[in-house]
Structure 1
């Protein structure tokens, strides 16, 4: 079969690789009908995530049709059209029983990214995301082996096209969890840092949950304009305004927003000092977006962090967070927890995830799709790939 493989920094290629086969009784084999390039895939593309090996198959946002099912698969059957969560969870361990699927204790043979583990088990395995998270082949391919098929895949109705349901695999639940963690409700004021796919999905979910004001901070005018036009967000371009938090506080009567969402993560555009420190591996992540979130949020408010972070950050400003009595919620998404609810919202017209798609390409064009998305060319917001 054909699959997109990682070959090094800024080097991904569609190659012929062996077809996957069933390995466990609760596996399925999926024929992929749609897959997407995620913002967190760009961390891999840029060589920022350790544990990648030449030939690793990328992709963790995908869906398709069940071609084969192991003898132990009971929830779905051959021929079903399903969306696959990017988190692989067993459904039976301590954390899965608490619906904390991204903390599953059994599926990840890797180490995870925590530096100070104290012997704790790693978090759940992820599709297509380095040996740190299990080294499981991803879904930017014609076929995928999907383990733990009684816990992850969700069947979707034929009436909903792939574009409408594909993002149940990652960015829609991630944006929704970010909004839920932020405590967004009727009349809430929210600042979202990062108008990429997760930030846009967070805006959509904040609006659905009743937020009255959404500030969107980014430095790509076309993304800010899309957020303004589609979700009624107040755009702030940090290339023109080097202290968005100050503007947000001034526009909220000197108080700040109820919650901030950091949808940027560790590759936030920071100061020259931070850039040098991260390049020299003296700092794990840029703290620019996180510091802005702390500054923009009102006392006793919440900072929600769906953006990926790794390692350590200087100038975290924990004293400011303490003085303001902030609550922090963060981490990988418990995708399985939210998929049924979000599917219902899509079906009833309360969410339209497909609206953010800007590019539809063939799998054979995936390398160009990565380049366009990475460079933000052609007003690229989201790339969806379909096998030939």
Structure 2
């Protein structure tokens, strides 16, 4: 089969690999019909996620048709059309029993790597480094899906791939990001980052009762989408004369946003271009792991006693405004998404017409064009916000 393969920083190629096979009785193999490039994949592309190995198949936002079914699988059959969550969960450990599926104890086949880096191992993740298992990913023609009775959801024939594909990651991630913000009716919610997860966080904030949503970015096409499609007020931080947190405090009559969602992560840009260049260099030489501009801005802006949710991905170390965080009495909630918890409720929202997630797509391309589309997405060429690949 053809699959997108990591060969080093800035170097991904479509290579030929053996077709996946059933390895355990709980597996299925799917023929991938649609798969997407995630902002998190750019962290791999840019070389900021540790424990990648040359030859790794990447990608974690797939869907397709079930081709083979393991002997123990009871909920899926050949021919089912399914969306596959990016997190792999066993369904029976203590964390899965608490519906904290991304913290599953049993699905990372190389837990010692994560334990060394983080103290504990989270769940295995498709196509996302040997820190989370080195499990072949979904930017490929075929994909082996472990623990298939716990992960994939069968989707109705009346919905297009484009409407349901993002149940694999970014729609549940944006929704959990908004849910973790503990939004109460009428709250003012500020969202850092108007990429795909940020867009879904904005829409989810409205669903959860926000009275006002302020979206922050510097890319005109992303801000335009946040304003036109997601009905947010927008702030371009590159155009401000005052520090961003002061602007947000002024916009909220001196109090600050009630809830802040940081949907940017480790490759955040600061208001100072020179500082950003220096911090990029520090990341590249591994003298600094993650750039923490966005989370620090959220800490400074958030009202006293407010909540910050951080769906933005981090992989290592970075400094935060811990004094402001503590003295303002803030709450911070984070984590990889417990996708399985949200699959059916969010599919119901799509079926009912509450949301059509396909609004986020700006580019569709064949799998063979994936290397070029990675560059287009990373460099934000051609107003690129979200890429769907068609194997």
The equivalent residue for 1:307 is 312
2:202 counterpart of 1:198: no
Counterpart of 2:321 (choices 305, 317, 321) is 317
Shift of 1:275: 3.5
2:355 counterpart of 1:351: yes
Please say which of residues 39-48 and 8-17 is displaced more in the overlay: 8-17
The equivalent residue for 2:374 is 370
Map 1:329-348 → 2, pairs under 5 A = 329-348=333-352
Q: Unaligned 5+ residue runs, structure 2? A: none
Please say which of residues 345-354 and 205-214 is displaced more in the overlay: 205-214
CA pair 293-114 structure 1, distance change in 2 beyond 3 A: farther
Mapped partners of 2:118, 2:165: distance in 1: 34
TM-score scaled to structure 2, two decimals? 0.95
After superposing on structure 2, the runs of 4+ consecutive aligned residues of structure 1 that deviate more than 6 Å are none
Note if contact 1:261-1:305 (Cα within 8 Å) is conserved in structure 2.
Answer: yes
Other structure's SS at 1:278 match:
helix
Shift of 1:305: 0.3
Shift of 1:35: 0.2
The equivalent residue for 2:60 is 60
Shift of 1:109: 2.3
2:289 counterpart of 1:284: yes
CA pair 5-279 structure 1, distance change in 2 beyond 3 A: closer
Cα shift readout 1:273-326 (whole Å, capped 9, x = no counterpart):
534443342322111101100111111110000001122222x11111111110
Mapped partners of 1:220, 1:129: distance in 2: 27
The equivalent residue for 1:94 is 94
Mapped partners of 2:302, 2:42: distance in 1: 28
The equivalent residue for 1:240 is 239
The equivalent residue for 2:32 is 32
Mapped partners of 2:115, 2:232: distance in 1: 35
Counterpart of 1:293 (choices 292, 295, 298) is 298
Please say which of residues 329-338 and 266-275 is displaced more in the overlay: 266-275
Note if contact 1:87-1:125 (Cα within 8 Å) is conserved in structure 2.
Answer: yes
The equivalent residue for 1:2 is 2
CA pair 114-309 structure 1, distance change in 2 beyond 3 A: farther
Q: Unaligned 5+ residue runs, structure 1? A: none
Note if contact 1:141-1:363 (Cα within 8 Å) is conserved in structure 2.
Answer: yes
CA pair 225-112 structure 1, distance change in 2 beyond 3 A: farther
Mapped partners of 1:369, 1:276: distance in 2: 24
2:388 counterpart of 1:384: yes
Note if contact 1:60-1:138 (Cα within 8 Å) is conserved in structure 2.
Answer: yes
Mapped partners of 2:207, 2:29: distance in 1: 35
CA pair 165-70 structure 1, distance change in 2 beyond 3 A: same
Mapped partners of 1:75, 1:305: distance in 2: 33
Note if contact 1:113-1:310 (Cα within 8 Å) is conserved in structure 2.
Answer: no
Mapped partners of 2:248, 2:390: distance in 1: 41
Shift of 1:250: 0.3
CA RMSD in angstroms, aligned pairs only: 1.4
Cα shift readout 1:321-367 (whole Å, capped 9, x = no counterpart):
11111010001000001111000011101111100100011111111
Mapped partners of 2:113, 2:340: distance in 1: 20
Map 1:104-143 → 2, pairs under 5 A = 104-110=104-110, 111=112, 113=114, 117-118=118-119, 120=120, 122-143=121-142
Mapped partners of 1:56, 1:117: distance in 2: 22
